[in-house]
Amino acid sequence: MMMRKCFVAYLGFLSLVYGAYSQDGTFDFGPPVEIPMYLSGNFGEIRSSHFHAGIDIKTQGVIGHKILAIADGYVSRIKVQANGYGKALYIAHPNGYTSVYAHLDKFRDDIGQYVKSIQYEQETFEIDLYPNAGAFRVERGQTIALSGNSGGSSGPHLHFEIRDAKQRPLNVLRYPIKITDNVAPVFYSVFLYPFEGGQVDFQYEKIKKKTVKQNEIYGFSGGSIPVYGKFGIGAEIYDYLDGMPNRCGVYSIELKLDGDLMGQFVIERLDFSLLRYVNAHIDYEERQTNRTTVHRLYQLPNNQAGLYHYAQPGGYLEVKDTLEHDIEIVANDAYGNYSTLKFKVKGVHKRDIVEKKKISADAKEMPFDQENSYVLSDFKVKIPKGALYNDIAFNYKKSLPQGNMATTVHHIHTDTEPLHKYIDVSIKPDSHFGPYTDKLTLATVGRNNTLKYQGGAFSNGFVTARVREFGKYTIALDTLPPKIYALNLKNGGHLASNGQIKLIVKDSFSGIKEYRGLIDNKWALFEYDMKNDLMTFDMDEAYFERGQWHQLVFRATDHLNNQATYEIRFYW
C-alpha cells in the first residue's frame, strides 16, 4: 500500500496556510516604469545561492528611463553599493508595505543632493541611510529616479520588490501588475532519488529521464519505473514569459501519487534570512555540473526555507506493493498557466546488487545536526552545526600544486555539495615565504587550474579563512598592486567641460579593498562600479573650483594590502 495516512489532516493544514497567505487585494498601486513591462527575471526564480527576491523589469537595453513611485509614501531608505543593489531606493507606504527600486542610475534631484552631501561629509561612496518620514515624500506616479545598471547588474534593468511590514519580499506577480504571461512552465527532465536503501530502476543512484510532450501532457518514453522502498522526485522546470527567452522561475509545484496530493512547493513570500536554503531546494550537483535547475520535490533534513507542505515528513514516497502507481507533477506560474507531467512507477522486490562505492574507504561520516571537523598535521577544517543540509561521507585527498599555486592542493570534499554556513579552513604552507608571509591567502582551484581568491591570513603556521564552499583549496601569493589608469584624461591635459573623470582600477587577484581619490588634497566622490573596474568622478562646482589646474591623487589597496597610487595634473 501507498503511504497516505496523513492525507486528510494534510488537506486541512493546506487550506489554513492558504488563508494566511492569500492576498488582501487592498494594495492598489501603479507601475514603476512608463514603458511596457517585460521581465528578464521573476519572483522566486533560482539564482546562485538565493531565491530572487523581486522582479527584473527590462529597460529597453538603456539606462535613463523614468522610475515612478508605485504609490504615495516616503523614502525610508537609500542605499549605495559598488555591487549588490547598486543605487537603491526604498519607499514606505501607509499600508505598511515597502517598495524597492534597485540598480538605479540617478536619484531624484533633491534626494541625489542629500546623498552627495552625506557622501562628502562621511568621505565614503557606499552609504546606507534611513531618512525620517518627513524628509522625502513621494506621490504615486512621481519620478523618483532614473533607471540604470548600477551594482551587480548584468544589463540595464529595474530590480523591483514589494516587501511586507517585516521587510519580507512578496510575490509581486500576485498583485495587479501589468505583465503579459500566457506561457506555461516547461518540463525538461525528471529525477528519481532512492533513499535509505531504496532502489530506483534497480539502482542505488539517482536516475534522470528526459521529458517529451505529447497531447499537451509531459511524460517520457519507456514503461513504468521500477521502485523499491523510499524515493524522492526532482524536476527540471522553467517558466517563460511572453516574447522573452529568459528562463524564469515557477510559482508552485504539486506532486501527486495516484491522484492524492503528496507535496507542494509555493513561493508566495520570501525571507532574506532563508534565501540561501535554495541550495538545499535544488539538486546542487546538477547546478554545479550541468548548470540546470532541478527542484527537489522532497525536503533535505536541514532545508528550513519554509516553502513546502508535505503529506509525509520530508516529502518522500514509498511503494510497498508490486503494483503500478501514477505520479503526476503540476507546475504553475503566477498567472494561472500550468503544465502537467505524468508517469508510472511500479513496486518491485529489491535487486541484489553491490552498492557502488561513491566514497573512499577512509571517508568520514559527518552528521548535519552536529559540529564536524577533520584535522591533519597540515590541514584543518571545522564545519559548524547547520552548515550541511544532510549527512555526508566527507572525502579528503591531496594533489600536487601547479602553476601559481604556492602549496599542496587540498581537496575538501566536493564542490557539488553545498554549504549553508561558513566553515573554517586552515592550510599549512609547504615552504617558508619569509617577508611575503603576510601576502599569503587561500584560493580555490577551478577548472583549468584557475585560482579564485577566498580570503584569509597567515597565523600560527597556517593560512586560515572562513569560506562557504567545498572544493579544491590551495595557498596563493599575491604581491601585485592594483593597476590604475585614466580613460579620458592625460597628465597635463584638459578635462572635458562636463568635468567627468573615468578611471580603470583593476586588481589581478584579491580585488579592491579600499580606495581614496583626492583632488587638490580634498576628498573627491569617485563612484565605484565593481563589475566594470570603473571609478567615475564628476567635477562639481559646489565642491571644486572651475577654471584652474587641479591635482588628482588616487590610491587603491587590494585585500592583501598591496597599494597603488596614481597621480595626474589636469585643467578644468
CB atoms within 10 A of CB 393: 13
> What's the min distance (Å) between Cβ of 44 and Zn ion?
11
**Closer residue to Zn ion (CB): 42 or 279:** 42
**Closer residue to Zn ion (CB): 56 or 415:** 56
> What's the min distance (Å) between Cβ of 152 and Zn ion?
9
> What's the min distance (Å) between Cβ of 102 and Zn ion?
7
> What's the min distance (Å) between Cβ of 153 and Zn ion?
8
Residue nearest to Zn ion (CB): 159
65 touches 59 (CB < 8 A): yes
Decide the pairing of beta strands 563-571 and 493-494.
parallel
**Closer residue to Zn ion (CB): 56 or 236:** 56
Binding-site string for Zn ion from residue 7 to residue 46, where x marks contact by CB under 5 A and - marks none: ----------------------------------------
> What's the min distance (Å) between Cβ of 119 and Zn ion?
25
Interface of this chain with Zn ion, residues 524 to 563, rule: CB under 5 A: none
> What's the min distance (Å) between Cβ of 52 and Zn ion?
6
Q: Which of 58, 159, 287, 550 binds Zn ion (CB under 5 A)?
A: 159
**Closer residue to Zn ion (CB): 55 or 255:** 55
254: left (phi over 0), alpha (psi -120 to 50) or beta: beta
**Closer residue to Zn ion (CB): 161 or 201:** 161
Name the one range near Zn ion by CB under 5 A: 152-160, 196-204, 231-239, 338-346.
Answer: 152-160
**Closer residue to Zn ion (CB): 159 or 206:** 159
Sequence-ordered list of residues with C-beta below 8 angstroms from that of 532, at least 6 positions apart, any chain: none
**Is there binding between residue 56 and Zn ion (CB under 5 A)?**
yes
Q: Round to whole Å and give the CA distance between 277 and 300.
A: 10
**Is there binding between residue 161 and Zn ion (CB under 5 A)?**
no
> What's the min distance (Å) between Cβ of 147 and Zn ion?
13
**Closer residue to Zn ion (CB): 43 or 187:** 43
Q: Tell me the residue ranges of DSSP E strands in 93-243.
A: 98-107, 127-129, 137-138, 143-147, 157-163, 169-170, 186-200, 207-210, 212-214, 217-219, 225-238
> What's the min distance (Å) between Cβ of 476 and Zn ion?
32
What backbone phi and psi angles, to 5 degrees, belong to 23?
Answer: -70, 140
By residue count, the chain amounts to 572
**Closer residue to Zn ion (CB): 159 or 256:** 159
Q: Is 497 helix (H, G, I), strand (E, B) or coil?
A: coil
**Closer residue to Zn ion (CB): 57 or 300:** 57
**Is there binding between residue 478 and Zn ion (CB under 5 A)?**
no
Which residues on adjacent β-strands are paired with residue 157?
A: 58
397 touches 419 (CB < 8 A): no
Q: Round to whole Å and give the CA distance between 528 and 52.
A: 24
For the record, the C-alpha cell of 366 comes out as: 559527518
> What's the min distance (Å) between Cβ of 63 and Zn ion?
16
**Closer residue to Zn ion (CB): 167 or 437:** 167
Closest CA to 149 of 101, 233, 86: 86
Provide the 8-state DSSP code for 121.
Answer: H
Name the one range near Zn ion by CB under 5 A: 154-162, 202-210, 251-259, 307-315.
Answer: 154-162
For the record, the C-alpha cell of 211 comes out as: 521529458
First and final C-alpha spacing in the chain: 84
The site for Zn ion, by CB under 5 A, has a size of: 2
**Closer residue to Zn ion (CB): 44 or 232:** 44
> What's the min distance (Å) between Cβ of 67 and Zn ion?
14
Name the one range near Zn ion by CB under 5 A: 55-63, 314-322, 352-360, 520-528.
Answer: 55-63
Q: Tell me the residue ranges of DSSP E strands in 376-430.
A: 379-383, 392-394, 396-399, 409-412, 423-427
> What's the min distance (Å) between Cβ of 129 and Zn ion?
22
Closest CA to 293 of 50, 471, 47: 47
Sequence-ordered list of residues with C-beta below 8 angstroms from that of 241, at least 6 positions apart, any chain: 38, 39, 42, 179, 180, 181, 183, 248
**Binding site residues, Zn ion, CB under 5 A:** 56, 159
